[in-house]
């Protein structure tokens, strides 16, 4: 049976946004030294402060001992340059959802890390095969797709592209399991598993809204209360971020040669254009200005 990466393996996380910070938290809690890098000045340090505050909260609730919380916080380091990641045994990329930007980053990384280092992308929807095509050694690249918020959501998709070596996928699977997650193997088909299956959930809800069938709050309440979903489609899109969610929809639509069933919504395009990205910007389908969830007119 394939072994998980040993806890002395240094894990690098690139991108200290919503997902990168969450993944860094999971890896540090599991015992790894974690180097967090972001190209926005101060972002990695700010994310580490936030993660340490989370560890302290967990200690206050008795979920962790104070010593364990402090030790986990101390395992997090803000990296300033790509070269600082030289000793990583695993790099998890969680930067902007753009093929060319991700390819450029992984190409630069290949020149920095050892041959044995596993490269992983947290991409929601970009083909792992396509990212790997830019690499000298695409065998060591796989998707390691966490869900938001990464410390709380159990599922992790371990995504194999055409070139991904089986040993890389099985090591990531075992590592995600050792980190307390529930991994599942997936092939690099558009949207992988969950984001493919979830597209109609958002799309049909948006169609009902366009047709004036019901408002967001009613649709969300129906799915949550009667359907048993943890969140309705609009509150979920607001939480994910419309920039991220819309990019996934466009990517799945294009990957299926513009199939009408995956057609992106103009309403979501408007929200992205306006900068109404959901919870993170204070406004999406709902307003979060005074922290209360209020449906917009
Ligand atoms: P975010 O916008 O919160 O964070 C992205 C971070 O990456 C930012 O801090 C940005 O400064 C940094 N960054 C951008 N380009 C960079 C570069 N070249 N080098 C270093 N840092 C760079 O985005 P989020 O939501 O964390 O998403 C990140 C990735 O995770 C995307 O690929 C997204 O599709 C995926 N994802 C997002 C989920 C979500 O619910 N938001 C869920 C699962 C996956």
* 173 and 249 together in one domain: no
Is 180 in the same domain as 36?
Answer: yes
Residues 96 and 183 in one domain: yes
In a domain, 68, yes or no: yes
Per-residue tokens: 179: 């980190």
Ligand 1 centroid from CA 96, angstroms = 4
Whole-number Å distance between alpha carbons of 217 and 166: 45
- Which residue's structure tokens are 């939480």? 239
Nearest CA to ligand 1 atom 21: 38
Would you say the CB of residue 107 lies under 6 angstroms from ligand 1? no
The total of structural domains in the chain comes to: 2
Ligand 1 in reach of 148 Cβ (< 6 A): yes
Supply the residue whose CA is at minimum distance from atom 39 of ligand 1: 240
Residue 235 in tokens = 């509150």
Q: Which residues form the domain of 23? A: 10-187
**Measured from the CB, is residue 150 less than 6 Å from ligand 1?**
no
**What is the per-residue pLDDT for 291?**
64
In a domain, 1, yes or no: no
Q: In terms of Cα–Cα distance, which of 64, 81, 78 is closest to 30?
A: 64
Q: How far is CA 198 from CA 8, 54, 129, 152, in A?
A: 37, 29, 22, 19
Q: The domain spanning residue 275 has which CATH number?
A: 1.10.1040.50
236 and 91 share one domain = no
Pair 74, 182 in one domain: yes
User: In this structure, is residue 65 part of a structural domain?
Assistant: yes
Q: Identify whether residues 77 and 178 lie together within a single domain.
A: yes
pLDDT in tens, 41-100: 999 999 999 999 999 999 999 999 999 999 999 999 999 999 999 999 999 999 998 999
How far lies 225's CA from each of 152, 216, 259, in Å? Answer: 21, 14, 32
Pair 160, 235 in one domain: no
User: By the 8 A CB rule, do 293 and 235 touch?
Assistant: yes
106: burial class by Cβ within 10 Å (0-12, 13-18, 19+)? Answer: buried
* Alpha carbon distance 175, 75 (integer Å): 18
| CB of 170 shorter than 6 A to ligand 1 | no
Whole-angstrom Cα distance, residue 124 to residue 19? 11
Please give the distance, rounded to the nearest whole angstrom, from the Cα atom of residue 225 to the centre of ligand 1. Answer: 31
Instruction: Give the strand order in the sheet containing 76-79.
Output: 76-79, 34-37, 10-14, 88-93, 118-121, 141-146, 155-160, 182-187
**Residue 287 to residue 295: CA distance in whole angstroms:** 6
Q: What residues are paired with 265 via a beta bridge?
A: none
Domain co-membership, 150 together with 262: no
Complex ipTM: 0.99
Same domain assignment for residues 136 and 258 = no
Domain assignment present for residue 115? The answer is yes
Same-domain pairing of 119 and 225: no
Q: Report the CATH number at residue 135.
A: 3.40.50.720
Query: Does one domain contain both 111 and 177?
Result: yes
- Among protein residues, the one with the nearest Cα to ligand 1's atom 3 is 17
Is residue 71 in a domain?
Answer: yes
Residue with tokens 């974690």: 34
Residue 240 CA to ligand 1 center (angstroms) comes to 11
Separation CA 50–CA 37 (nearest Å): 15
pLDDT by position in tens, the chain (length 297):
789 999 999 999 999 999 999 999 999 999 999 999 999 999 999 999 999 999 999 999 999 999 999 999 999 999 999 999 999 999 999 999 899 999 999 999 999 999 999 999 999 989 999 999 999 999 999 999 999 999 999 999 999 999 999 999 999 999 999 999 999 999 999 999 999 999 999 999 999 999 999 999 999 999 999 999 999 999 999 999 999 999 999 999 999 999 999 999 999 999 999 999 999 999 999 999 876 667 776
Residue 38 Cα, ligand 1 centroid: separation in angstroms?
Answer: 10
Q: Answer yes or no: is the C-beta of 15 below 6 A from any ligand 1 atom.
A: yes
Q: Are residues 108 and 235 in the same domain?
A: no
Candidates 150, 148, 168; CA nearest to 158 is 168
Indicate left, alpha or beta for 71 from its phi (over 0: left) and psi (-120 to 50: alpha).
alpha
Cβ 240 under 6 angstroms from ligand 1: yes
Q: Which residues are catalytic?
A: 124, 145, 157, 195
Per the domain annotation, does 94 fall within a domain?
Answer: yes
pTM: 0.91
Pairing relationship of beta strands 10-14 and 34-37 according to DSSP bridges: parallel
């Amino acid at each position: 049976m394939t072994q998980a990466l040993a806890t002395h393996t240094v894990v690098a996380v690139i991108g200290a946004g919503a997902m990168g910070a969450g993944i860094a938290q999971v890896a540090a809690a599991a015992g790894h030294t974690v180097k967090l890098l972001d190209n926005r000045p101060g972002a990695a340090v700010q994310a580490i402060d936030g993660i340490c505050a989370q560890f302290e909260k967990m200690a206050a609730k008795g979920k962790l001992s104070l010593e364990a919380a402090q030790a986990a916080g101390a395992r997090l380091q803000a990296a300033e340059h790509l070269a600082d990641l030289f000793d990583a045994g695993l790099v998890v990329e969680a930067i902007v959802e753009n093929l060319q930007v991700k390819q450029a980053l992984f190409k630069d990384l290949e020149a920095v890390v050892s041959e044995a280092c596993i490269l992983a992308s947290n991409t929601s929807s970009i083909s792992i095969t396509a990212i790997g095509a830019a690499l000298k050694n695409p065998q060591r690249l796989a998707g390691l797709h966490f869900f938001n918020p990464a410390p709380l959501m159990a599922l992790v998709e371990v995504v194999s592209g055409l070139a991904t070596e089986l040993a890389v996928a099985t090591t990531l699977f075992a590592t995600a399991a050792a980190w307390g997650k529930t991994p599942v193997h997936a092939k690099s088909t558009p949207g992988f598993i969950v984001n493919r299956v979830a597209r109609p959930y958002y799309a049909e809800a948006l169609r009902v809204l366009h047709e004036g069938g019901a408002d967001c709050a009613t649709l969300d309440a129906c799915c949550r209360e009667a359907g048993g979903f943890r969140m309705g489609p609009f509150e979920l899109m607001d939480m994910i971020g419309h920039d991220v969610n819309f990019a996934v929809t466009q990517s799945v639509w294009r990957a299926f040669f513009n199939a009408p069933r995956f057609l992106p919504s103009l309403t979501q395009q408007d929200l992205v254009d306006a900068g109404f990205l959901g919870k993170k910007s204070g406004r999406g389908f709902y307003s979060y200005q005074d922290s209360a969830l209020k449906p917009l007119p």
